Amino acid sequence: MSALVALTIRTMSGTLRDADLLFAVLAPVGCFLGFTLALGNLIDTGLMTYPQYVLPLVLVQAMLFGAMTTADRAARDRLSGFGVRLRTLPIPPMVPLAARMLYCLIRAVIALVAGTGVAWVFGFRLAGGLGYDVLFVLIVLSFAMAVCLGADALGSRIGSVESSSQLLLLPQLVLVLLSTGIAPAESFPAWLDPFVRYQPVSQVTETLRGLAGGQITGLGLAVTTAWCLTLLAVFGCLALRMQRRTR
Amino acid sequence: MPDAAIECHDLAKSFGNSSQALRGVSFAVPRASVCALLGHNGAGKTTTINILSTLVRPTSGSATVAGFDVARQAASVRASIGVTGQYAALDELLTGRENLMLFGRLRGLRHHAARRRADELIERFDMAHAADRRVSTYSGGMRRRIDIAVALVVPPRVLFLDEPTTGLDPRSRRDVWGLVASLRQQDVTVLLTTQYLEEADVLSDSIVVLHSGRIAASGTADELKCRVGVSFCQVTPADPVHLPVIATALADFASSDCDALIDQQAAAVSVPAPDGVVTFGEVFRRLDGLGIELADISLRKPSLDEAFLSLTSAAVTV
């Protein structure tokens, strides 16, 4: 337990210095301002204000950014002398992974608070009541956990620090840009429609939007929960397996 | 703890199908002694260290460290060892002190104990001036020093040092030597790897020479030198320009496994002198005839370098 705390504190003090925690705050704030100021008057979101519409996507994107830095960190822990030394210490082999995930969770909470905070100023509201608010937070954090586990598995598997986060850049862009997070499905060409509608980023952002507004369909919640749980299970297994690989 | 802090029995390791890093290595290191694994790159030094520090499983054979089996009691082995790799294993974003505290905590010290231990080590390793700077700003020598300090946060029973002085300037190298020498008094058994023959000679009680994954020879530095047997006649000209001329003039003294050796650093030529003073006299007469002015001429026992070359070239033909 103390090893977990020590490693998490190590990551925290490191990322305070390499500015990753600052980026955790700036990314959602910057993205939200960028989307709102640039696209707010261009995209028709019906009765919903654009801040109310776009914040869920900003949060999801911040979680994806977090995953990219996790891939870096996992690759570094795998390859660096530091990581090798960790494997010669009398600590359980899963502790470094657990510490990276704990850091992801902390980073996700910070990003969630920062993004929601700035959107609040522009009129975003959580209007669904306490139960919906709790679900809102749970979904954001479990999505963050899921993508971080996947990125961790990738970073641990890949032999280079430089390429692991680069590899994640493309899927991240595709999932965010081709989703209903920035603009409604009607704005996309018809042939893209099935992908745009049912991919996880669209589903999760739509559910978050519903939870914030207090209107949620059972089916939507079920699909989002299924996405989150499936990703958690699959990526979780992968990440654990990567840690077990010994030569 | 048994008398031998490290025991290897017929360790073998192959990576994939093709490359065999170790082909049956057996040796023992007595408690509180320093043993050097000596060999070229690729001889199997790091693989041996990796197996003994539980990073890599042997393909066959067995080993114990501090009395624990490396395969079946890996956790107990980890609790007994300190490891420094070829490259400093520190968190670059943290200060030296923070690294020391972090590894203290990871080895189970409580916060205050870890802080006290960090203070102690900083003082003992003479790092007070740099302890609160980030490791990324350290020189190679500082980095190595704090790296070794980290491995000693909780005094290990066995310490592995993989090429502890590679890439260090002569002064830092001497610092590290001093550190290793001081460990012997603290009941720490040290297994170090090195390519520097001089280093093995200075630091270790026993030497294991590895060559292509096998043990080419083992023993104390003196034993190894004796095994090569012959004395050398070393000639130092007043002007190093004459080194090649001398080497040519003395070429017929060279034997199959011991060439006439030009040592650029010492600006001298060495040839085997199996007949001792007789050879010495012949060498002197010949060079005197050539009219080359000499700064020094002497008979000496082989250096570890020569012993090493001779031992490993013999091992190839075995």
Picking from B68, B78, B91 by the largest number of A CB atoms within 10 A of its own CB, the best residue to mutate is B91
Least trusted range by pLDDT, from A122-126, B61-65, B311-315: B311-315
Q: Which of B178, B208, B225 is the last residue of a domain?
A: B225
In this structure, are B84 and B196 located in the same domain? yes
Q: Which residues of B touch A7 (CB under 8 A)?
A: 102, 106
pLDDT for B257: 47
Interface size, chain A vs chain B, as Cβ–Cβ contacts under 8 Å: 71
Asked whether residue B44 falls in the same domain as residue B177, the answer is yes
List CB contacts (< 8 A) between A90 and chain B.
75, 78-79, 107-108
Cβ-defined contacts of B266-271 (< 8 Å, 24+)? B266/B234, B266/B236, B267/B236, B267/B237, B267/B240, B267/B243, B268/B234, B268/B235, B268/B236, B268/B243, B268/B296, B269/B234, B269/B235, B269/B237, B269/B243, B270/B232, B270/B233, B270/B234, B270/B235, B270/B306, B271/B232, B271/B233, B271/B235
B311 is a domain residue = no
The answer to whether the CB of B153 falls within 8 A of the CB of B104 is yes
B50 shares a domain with B192:
yes
Distance CA B2, CA A124 (A): 70
Q: How confident is the model at residue B198, as a pLDDT?
A: 78
- Examine the domain organization and report whether B22 and B131 are in the same domain: yes
Q: Could you list the pLDDT tens digit for every one of the 247 residues in chain A? A: 789 999 999 999 888 888 888 999 999 999 999 999 988 878 877 778 889 999 999 999 999 999 998 988 888 888 888 888 888 998 888 899 999 999 999 999 999 999 999 999 999 999 888 999 999 999 999 999 999 999 999 988 886 767 777 788 888 888 888 888 888 888 888 898 888 888 889 999 999 999 998 888 888 899 999 999 999 999 999 999 888 755 4
Q: Which CATH number characterizes residue B21's domain?
A: 3.40.50.300
Contact B52, B62 (CB under 8 A): no
Give the count of domains, chain A.
1
Query: Could you give the CA distance from residue B114 to residue B118 in angstroms, rounded to a whole number?
Result: 6
Q: Are A78 and B55 in contact (CB under 8 A)?
A: no
Domain-located, residue B306: no
ipTM above 0.85, yes or no: no
Interchain pair A82, B89: CB under 8 A: yes
Average pLDDT, integer, range B6-11: 94
pLDDT band at B233, cuts 50/70/90? confident
User: Which chain B residues are within 8 Å of A84, Cβ to Cβ?
Assistant: 55, 85, 89
Same domain (yes/no): B211, B279: no
Encoding tokens for residue A162?
Answer: 């430089």
Q: Give the E-state strand segments of chain B in sequence order.
A: 4-15, 19-30, 34-38, 60-65, 68-69, 81-84, 158-162, 189-194, 206-211, 214-219, 231-237, 261-263, 268-273, 294-300
Residue closest to B155 by CA, chosen among B255, B94, B79? B79
Nearest to A3 among B75, B78, B106 (CB): B106
**Does residue B31 have a pLDDT over 50?**
yes
pLDDT digits (tens, 9 = 90+) for B134-147: 999 998 888 888 99
Residues B249, B218 share a domain: no
Structural domain for A37, as ranges? 2-244
Name the residue facing A6 among B55, B90, B105 (closest C-beta).
Answer: B105
Looking at every residue in chain B, the average pLDDT score rounds to: 84
Mutate to test the interface with A, among B105, B106, B111 (most CBs of A within 10 A): B106
Position B51 in a domain: yes
Render B231-244 in DSSP notation, one character per residue: EEEEEEESSGGGHH
- CATH (domain of B284): 3.30.70.100
Indicate if B168 and B292 belong to the same structural domain: no
pLDDT band with cut points at 50, 70 and 90 for residue B258: very low
Select from B55, B78, B91 the Cβ nearest to the Cβ of A14: B91
Which tens digit of pLDDT belongs to each residue from B158-214? Answer: 999 998 888 788 888 888 888 888 887 888 999 999 887 778 888 899 999 998 888
Residues B171 and B282 in one domain: no
The amino acid at A62: A
A247 touches chain B (CB under 8 A): yes
Contacts of A17 in chain B (CB under 8 A): 93, 134
From the list B22, B3, B1, the residue with the least C-alpha distance to B12 is B22
- Closest-CA residue of A relative to B151 is A85
For residue B279, the enclosing domain spans 230-301
- B170 and B51 inside one domain: yes
- Residue of B272, B269, B318 whose CA lies nearest to B295: B269
Q: Looking at residue B111, what is its pLDDT?
A: 92
Contact assignment for A81 to B89 by CB distance below 8 Å? yes
Whether B10 and B112 map to the same domain: the answer is yes
Q: Tell me which residue of A114, A111, A103 sits closest to A14, measured CA to CA.
A: A103
Q: Output the six-digit token pair for A39.
A: 């696209």
- Give mean pLDDT, residues B205-233: 81
In terms of domains, do B182 and B90 share one? yes
The tens digit of pLDDT for each residue in B10-24 reads 999 988 776 788 899
Structural domains counted in chain B:
2
Average pLDDT over residues B145-163: 91
Task: Judge: B108–A13 Cβ closer than 8 Å, yes or no.
Answer: no
CB of B81 less than 8 A from some CB of A: yes
Note the pLDDT of residue B313. 67
**What residue of A is the nearest CA neighbor of B90?**
A82
pTM of the model: 0.80
What pLDDT sits at residue A111? 96
Give the total residue count for chain A. Answer: 247
pLDDT at A181: 84
pLDDT at site B226: 66
Q: What share of chain A is helix, strand, coil (3-state, %, to 5)?
A: 80, 0, 20
Q: Are residues B215 and B242 in the same domain?
A: no
Chain B positions in Cβ-Cβ contact with residue A13 (cut-off 8 Å): 93-94, 98
What confidence score (pLDDT) does residue B302 get?
67
Q: What is the pLDDT of residue B255?
A: 60
Give B81's contacts in chain A (Cβ within 8 Å): 88
Residue B287 lies in a domain: yes
CA B187 → CA B153, B155, B184, B190, distances in Å? Answer: 15, 9, 6, 10
Q: Looking at beta carbons, which residues of chain B come within 8 Å of A89? A: 78, 103, 106-107
**B179 lies in a domain?**
yes
In a domain, B197, yes or no: yes
